[in-house]
Amino acid sequence: MGSLLQHTMWHSTCSSHTANLLAKDVLNIKLVENVVLVLKEFKHPDFEKIIINKGGHRIKLPAETRWCSYRNSFRKEVRTKLVEIQDPICELINTAQNSDTSIADAANLWLELKLPEEFNEQLRKRQEMALNKYALTAYYLHPSYDRSKLSGNQKSIFKLLNEKEAHIHSLLRNRFTFENSKKLIHIYFTLRLENENPHHDLEEDADFEDPLI
């Protein structure tokens, strides 16, 4: 199956899954073990009842298979650097899971993700996984995103497109919103149909189908 995906299908990695791997990469394992050990002690029903009666909340233990669970579990229990580091990663995970997030949107999230310098290597490794040639192409061809965020190596695969840049993007072309673009297409198709059959009344034609519907 892996060979089939590699050779015959376009495949872009799941940004949420890759970001979850990054979230694990930056965990302080020793700290996590100690915090979980303490939380488990207070997870006892009697202790938990006392905590809730005093205005606290039910303790949630982190789970390996639940994304952002370490951040969510530790946020209210302990204020640590771990939570601060996990916040932007979890934001990427949650945003990338939205049904209206495109590949270009996810690529932009990865390009904007910043972590403390000590985690640069972990971030670079996961960015390389997420920003494959398909994600980079979607980002590069998106009219709204700033291509200056791309590194020299990332831009190198678009050498030919760079030479034809004026034909891909221009201020005049990109000023259209999606709705305005639809209206322009509607006008184009209407005029083309009228030119092909100038004596035909489109409004009276029951079989006429709007090309935008």
> What's the pLDDT tens digit per position in 29-58?
887 888 788 878 777 777 777 877 877 777
Is 104 part of any domain?
yes
Least confident of 7-21, 99-113, 120-134, 164-178: 164-178
Is 60 part of any domain?
yes
Q: What share of the chain in percent tops pLDDT 90?
A: 23
Is a pLDDT exceeding 90 seen at residue 111? yes
Mean pLDDT, residues 161-187 = 61
Is a pLDDT exceeding 50 seen at residue 166? no
Is 158 part of any domain?
no
Most confidently modeled range among 78-92, 101-115, 159-173: 101-115
Task: Check whether residue 60 and residue 126 sit in a common domain.
Answer: yes
Task: Check whether residue 134 and residue 48 sit in a common domain.
Answer: yes
Q: Identify which has the larger pLDDT, 70 or 178.
A: 70
Q: Output the six-digit token pair for 6.
A: 């590699």
Task: Check whether residue 51 and residue 104 sit in a common domain.
Answer: yes
Task: Check whether residue 43 and residue 118 sit in a common domain.
Answer: yes
Task: Check whether residue 181 and residue 132 sit in a common domain.
Answer: no
Task: Check whether residue 138 and residue 87 sit in a common domain.
Answer: yes
Q: What is the pLDDT of residue 40?
A: 80
Task: Check whether residue 39 and residue 122 sit in a common domain.
Answer: yes
Domain range for 68: 2-152
Mean pLDDT, residues 137-153 = 85
Is 212 part of any domain?
no
Is 166 part of any domain?
no
Q: What is the pLDDT of residue 46?
A: 78
pLDDT category at 1 given cuts 50, 70, 90 is very low
Q: What is the pLDDT of residue 68?
A: 81
Instruction: Report how many domains make up the chain.
Output: 2
pLDDT category at 84 given cuts 50, 70, 90 is confident
Q: Identify which has the larger pLDDT, 166 or 142.
A: 142
Task: Check whether residue 140 and residue 198 sit in a common domain.
Answer: no
Task: Check whether residue 40 and residue 89 sit in a common domain.
Answer: yes
Task: Check whether residue 103 and residue 53 sit in a common domain.
Answer: yes
Q: What is the pLDDT of residue 152?
A: 83
Task: Check whether residue 59 and residue 133 sit in a common domain.
Answer: yes
